[in-house]
């Protein structure tokens, strides 16, 4: 499995994705990326997991946000008050896996959502025993 892109996700959302309870990462725009991606805990400098990005949905209405709270984990009182108001596009994840050992990467200036992983990080992910089992 070759992973060249990674998504930066803040806590508590990344932990919820990696423990399998959150399958929708809410963002302000749609995305074309599909397939296996790395998951970076914001500010950590490491890829700490991977997930398969299988699709997108949105923009979502208040009603659809409420109906799918189990997938995105944003409490309705928060988005109904306007916090996360722009975050109405679901990036749909599946098969999330936490790495046993985080993989460091070189963070390029200006990368705030997606990171194109450097060759060392891509190679380290390809050699990870946990991920070899998924391939």
pLDDT at 48: 98
pLDDT of residue 9: 98
Residue 131 confidence (pLDDT): 83
Q: What is the pLDDT of residue 84?
A: 67
Q: How many domains does the chain have?
A: 1
Instruction: Find the CATH number of the domain harbouring 80.
Output: 2.30.130.30
Please give the pLDDT value at position 135.
66
pLDDT of amino acid 75: 86
Q: What pLDDT, on a 0 to 100 scale, did the predictor assign at position 129?
A: 82
Taken as a whole, the chain contains a residue count of: 135
Each residue's pLDDT tens digit, 64-88: 999 999 999 988 887 777 766 788 9
**pLDDT for the residue numbered 130:** 80
Residue whose pair of structure tokens reads 């508590």 in the numeric block:
12
Domain range for 101 is: 5-132
Q: State residue 78's pLDDT score.
A: 77
Given a cut of 50, the residues of the chain with pLDDT beneath it are: none
What pLDDT score does 62 carry? 87
Residue 134 confidence (pLDDT): 77
């Amino acid at each position: 499995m070759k992973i060249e892109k990674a998504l930066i996700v803040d806590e508590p959302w990344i932990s919820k994705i990696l423990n399998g309870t959150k399958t929708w990462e809410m963002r302000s725009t749609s995305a074309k990326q599909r397939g296996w991606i790395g998951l970076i805990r914001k500010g950590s400098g490491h890829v700490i997991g991977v997930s398969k990005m299988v699709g997108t949905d949105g923009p979502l209405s208040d009603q659809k946000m409420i109906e799918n709270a189990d997938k995105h984990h944003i409490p309705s009182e928060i988005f109904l008050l306007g916090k996360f108001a722009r975050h109405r596009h679901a990036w749909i994840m599946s098969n999330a896996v936490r790495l046993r050992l985080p993989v460091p990467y070189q963070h390029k200036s200006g990368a705030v959502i997606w990171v194109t992983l450097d060759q060392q990080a891509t190679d380290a992910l390809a050699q990870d025993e946990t991920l070899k089992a998924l391939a």
